[in-house]
Structure 1
Amino acid sequence: MNADDDNLDASAGLLSLKLLRLFDLIYTTQSVTRAAEQLGQSQPTVSNWLGRLRKQLGDELFVRTAAGMQPTPRAEELIVPAREALAALRRVAAPSEAFDPSSSTRRFRICMTDASHITLLPQLLAHVRAVGPGIRLEAARIDGQTGQALQTGQADLAIGLVPWLESGFYQQVLFPQDWVCLVNARHPRITAKGMGLRDFKAEAHIGIVGGTGVQLLEAALLRQRVKRRILLELPGFLGLAAIVSTTDLVATVPRQIGETLARTNGLAVFDCPVPVPPFTVKQHWHTRYNQEPANRWLRGLCERLFAKKLNARK
Structure 2
Amino acid sequence: MHFNKLDLNLLVALDHMLTLKSVSRAAEHMNLTQSAMSNALTRLRSYFDDPLLVQVGRRMELTPRAQAIKHSVRDILVRIEATVATDLTFDPSQSTRDFRIILSDFTMSTLMPKVLELADRESSRIRFQLLPQIESPYQAIEKGDADVLVAPGPLTSSEHPSEHLFSEEYVCITCASSHHHGRSMTQERYVEARHVQMVPTRGGATFEQQWLEHLGVQRDVALTSYTFTSLPHLIIGSERIATIHKHLALHYQSLLAIDIHPLPFDIPLLEERIQWHAYRDQDPGIRWLTNLMHSAASTME
Band of TM-score, shorter chain: 0.5 to 0.7
| Contact 1:175 1:308 survives alignment (8 Å) | no
| 1:284 aligns with one of 268, 275, 283 | 275
Q: Distance in 2 between matches of 1:211 and 1:173?
A: 25
- Aligned-partner SS, 2:161: strand
**CA offset at residue 164 of structure 1?**
4.2
Is structure 2 residue 227 aligned with structure 1 residue 227?
Answer: no
Q: Quote the sequence identity (%).
A: 24
TM-score of the aligned structures, taking structure 1 as reference length: 0.62
Report the equivalent of 2:266: 275
Indicate how the Cα distance of structure 1 residues 163 and 270 shifts in structure 2: closer, same or farther if over 3 A, else same: same
Stretches (4+) displaced over 3 A: 95-98, 211-216, 307-310
Residues 97 and 223 of structure 1, relative CA distance in 2, 3 Å threshold:
closer
Q: CA deviation at 1:222?
A: 2.5
RMSD in angstroms over aligned alpha carbons?
Answer: 2.6
1:6 match: none
Shift of 1:203: 1.2
AA aligned to 2:112 is L
Give the CA deviation at 1:143.
Answer: 1.8
Query: Contact 1:173 / 1:309 at 8 angstroms: preserved in 2?
Result: no
In structure 2, distance between residues paired with 1:262 and 1:246 = 14
Give yes or no for contact 2:98–2:126 (8 Å, CA) kept in 1: yes
Local SS of the residue matching 2:255: helix
Alignment of 1:122-161 (within 5 A): 122-144=113-135, 146-161=137-152
Are 1:119 and 2:72 counterparts? no
Cα distance in structure 2, aligned partners of 1:100 and 1:236: 35
CA distance in 2, matches of 1:133, 1:96: 18
Distance (Å, rounded) in 2 between the aligned partners of 1:265 and 1:222? 30
Partners of 1:124 and 1:302 within 8 A in 2: yes
Q: Does 1:101 align with 2:92?
A: yes
Residues 301/211 of structure 1: CA separation in 2 closer, same or farther (3 Å cut): farther
Question: In the alignment, which residue of structure 2 is the partner of 1:180?
Answer: 171
Correspondence for 1:204 = 194
Match of 2:256 among 262, 265, 270: 265
CA distance in structure 2 between the aligned counterparts of 1:211 and 1:131, rounded to whole angstroms: 36
CA distance in 2, matches of 1:120, 1:195: 28
Following TM superposition, by how much is the alpha carbon of 1:127 offset from its aligned partner in structure 2, in angstroms? 2.2
CA distance in 1, matches of 2:88, 2:215: 55
Provide Cα deviations, 1:224-267, integer angstroms capped at 9, x if missing partner.
Answer: 33221111100112432222222221001122222222233231
State the Cα deviation string for residues 52-110 of structure 1 (Å, max 9, x = none). xxxxxxxxxxxxxxxxxxxxxxxxxxxxxxxxxxxxxxxx9xx9733211111110010
Work out which of the two has the higher radius of gyration on C-alpha atoms and give 1 or 2.
1
- Tell me what 1:31 maps to: none
Q: Secondary structure at the match of 2:254?
A: helix
- The number of aligned residues is 216
